[in-house]
Amino acid sequence: DTGVSQNPRHKITKRGQNVTFRCDPISEHNRLYWYRQTLGQGPEFLTYFQNEAQLEKSRLLSDRFSAERPKGSFSTLEIQRTEQGDSAMYLCASSREGNTIYFGEGSWLTVV
Amino acid sequence: AQKITQTQPGMFVQEKEAVTLDCTYDTSDPSYGLFWYKQPSSGEMIFLIYQGSYDQQNATEGRYSLNFQKARKSANLVISASQLGDSAMYFCAMRGVAANDYKLSFGAGTTVTVRA
């Protein structure tokens, strides 16, 4: 049983460029989450999918952010027109219903 | 709303000794779950241990045990026989247990450094 997989693990991009992160959850996990973590802080909730339906988006997620989970399998998180304040680690997690949430290794974003 | 407080930003512990990481919480949910995660420098959040609010006994998982005091709203993590590989950031988190509860709320974390 493989864990949550995220790629790329590291991304350096210039301000104004678009970036996309991919998350492959644990097989048969119907719930998928995205969190953002900045240095020295705990993760903050961004968005949640149950199967393919995006059920909640945090106010942290501006209009430049979009997440999808086509067919209820993998998910993508796209950030358009990146800003320096977007520099953070983006963590994906999955769970089966209300059970324990398992996280991936995260995708580090640096906007220069 | 749920709030997690971890007041220890950093701790040092000697190898083979035990260390206790503090976590207090606040919630209006009648039922909830408390989690501890370990985050090494690589970034992955590793699930360690879970305590349900109505569990009669404190949770244990290998060298990890959770000192749950419901009246005090605290859920401290105890790591026994510390190893060098335990050096990491540790996060306390909580979530309601209703069907539509899915968000984890995290504390700010505690950095543990194990000395040889």
Q: What is the pLDDT of residues A71-98, one digit of tens each?
A: 889 999 999 999 999 999 999 999 987 6
Query: How many Cα neighbours within 13 Å face the side chain of B25?
Result: 32
Average of per-residue pLDDT across B61-84:
96
Q: Please, are residues B23 and B107 in contact by the beta-carbon 8 Å criterion?
A: yes
Instruction: Return the residue in B7, B29, B45 with the most chain A beta carbons within 10 A, the one to mutate for interface testing.
Output: B45
Q: Please, are residues B61 and B49 in contact by the beta-carbon 8 Å criterion?
A: yes
Q: In what order do the strands lie in the sheet with A19-24?
A: A5-7, A19-24, A75-79, A65-68
pLDDT(B100) > 90: no
B103 contacts A43? CB cut-off 8 A: no
Residue B57 is given by DSSP the state: S
Name which of A33, A42, A106 is nearest B107 (Cβ-Cβ).
A42
Reduce the DSSP state of residue B32 to 3 states and report it. Answer: strand
Which pLDDT score is estimated for A32? 95
Name which of B91, B102, B108 is nearest A31 (Cβ-Cβ).
B102
Which residue of chain A is at minimal alpha-carbon distance from B39? A105
Which pLDDT score is estimated for B99? 67
Task: Quote the minimal CA–CA distance from A46 to chain B in Å.
Answer: 9
Name which of B42, B97, B108 is nearest A42 (Cβ-Cβ).
B108
The vertex-A1 CA angle with A78 and A90, nearest 5°, equals 25
CA atoms of A51 and A69, how far apart (whole Å): 8
pLDDT(B28) > 90: no
Interface of A with B (CB under 8 A): 31, 33, 35, 40-45, 48, 50, 55-56, 89, 91, 93, 95, 98, 100-106, 108
Q: Indicate the pLDDT class of residue A60, thresholds 50, 70 and 90.
A: confident
* Residue A65, strand partner residues: A79
- Give me the amino acid identity at B81: A
Average of per-residue pLDDT across A32-43:
93
Q: What is the DSSP string of A17-44?
A: --EEEEEEPPTT--EEEEEEE-TTS--E
pLDDT(B2) > 90: no
A31 contacts B106? CB cut-off 8 A: no
A44-76 burial, b for 16+ CB within 10 Å, e for fewer?
A: bbbbbbbeeeeeebeeebeeebebebeeeeebe
Instruction: Return the residue in A21, A37, A38, A99 with the most chain B beta carbons within 10 A, the one to mutate for interface testing.
Output: A37
The vertex-A78 CA angle with A77 and A80, nearest 5°, equals 155
Q: Please, are residues A108 and A91 in contact by the beta-carbon 8 Å criterion?
A: no
Residue given tokens 């802080």 in the structure block: A41
Residues of chain B contacting residue A50, judged by C-beta atoms under 8 Å apart: 102
B8 Cβ neighbours under 8 A, 6+ residues apart: B21, B22, B110
Q: Please, are residues A36 and B85 in contact by the beta-carbon 8 Å criterion?
A: no
Q: What is the pLDDT of residues B34-50, one digit of tens each?
A: 999 999 998 889 999 99
